[in-house]
Amino acid sequence: MKLTIFDTDNKETGKIDLPDQFEEELRIDLIRRAFRVIMNNNRQAYGADERAGLRHSAEVSRRRHKYRGSYGFGISRVPRKVLSRRGTRFNWVGAVAPGTVGGRKAHPPKPSKDYSQKINIKEKRKAIRSAISATVNKDIVAGRGHKIPESFPFIIDGAEKTEKTADLMKILKALGLDQEIERISVRKIRAGKGKSRGRKYNTKIGPLIVVSDEKCPLIKAASNIIGVEVAYVKNLNVSQLAPGADAGRLTLWSKGAIEMLQKEGLFK
**Structural domain boundaries of the chain?**
2-38+118-264, 44-114
- Contacts for 232 with CB less than 8 Å, ≥ 6 apart: 210, 211, 212, 213, 214
Q: Which of 110, 218, 222 is nearest to 161 (CA)?
A: 218
Nearest to 231 by CA among 247, 217, 212, 245: 212
Instruction: Identify which of 173, 160, 175 has the alpha carbon closest to the alpha carbon of residue 222.
Output: 160
Q: How would DSSP label each residue in 196-255? A: GTT--EE-----EEEES-TT-THHHHHTTSTT-EEEEGGG--HHHHSGGG-----EEEEH
**AA letter at 149:** P
Domain formed by 2-38+118-264, architecture: 3-Layer(aba) Sandwich (3.40)
| Cβ-based burial of 7 (10 A; exposed 0-12, middle 13-18, buried ≥19) | middle
The type of residue at 160 is: E
Averaged pLDDT, groups of 10, the chain, 268 residues long: 90 92 95 97 92 90 85 90 88 93 93 94 96 95 93 91 93 94 93 92 94 91 93 95 95 94 92
Determine the 3-state secondary structure of 74 from DSSP.
coil
- Residue 144 confidence (pLDDT): 92
Q: Which helix (H) or strand (E) holds 46?
A: none
pTM of the model: 0.84
How much is the pLDDT for 1? 82
pLDDT at 266: 93
Sequence-separated (6 or more) residues with CB below 8 Å from residue 115: 40, 41, 43
Which residues sit opposite 210 in a β-bridge? 231, 253
